[in-house]
Amino acid sequence: MSILNEDGFIYFKKAEFTCHETGENEINEDFVHRLDNLRGQLGFPLVISSGYRSPEHTVERRKHKPGTHSQGIAADILVSNAKRRGQLIKKAIEMGFTGIGMEGRYIHLDIRDDDLTMWTY
């Protein structure tokens, strides 16, 4: 039996998903619960490098329309090695994450409404 923290999650704190530029945090709790479940199944820590991004965040303002980070349904996760990146991607697909981007040391995960979409940066 797992014990939930004060934010209602097992492994994450809501503060880990706060916008680095504005301090806002409108992360979708269902998304965090799904990441929590993913983390539990993987058995190794997931370090969030970017979670919620305000539409005013520098990266989001450059886009034609704000992306999944500003919808609160995405996170970039630092992963320490190739084996763990492969495990993370495989399990994320199995668990229904629909947006997966890969760039060097991090993996972007989201739950967009589309079919599975994968890309590299």
Domain spanning 14-120, CATH architecture = 2-Layer Sandwich (3.30)
- Tens of pLDDT, residue by residue, the chain (121 residues): 578 899 999 999 999 999 999 999 999 999 999 999 999 999 999 999 999 999 999 999 999 988 999 999 999 999 989 999 999 999 999 999 999 999 989 999 999 999 999 999 9
Q: How many helices (H) and strands (E) does the chain have?
A: 3, 5
What confidence score (pLDDT) does residue 56 get?
Answer: 93
Contact 37, 91 (CB under 8 A): no
What confidence score (pLDDT) does residue 71 get?
Answer: 97
Q: Check residue 92 and give left, alpha or beta (phi > 0: left; psi -120 to 50: alpha).
A: alpha
User: Which residues lie closer than 8 Å to 83 by C-beta, 6 or more apart?
Assistant: none
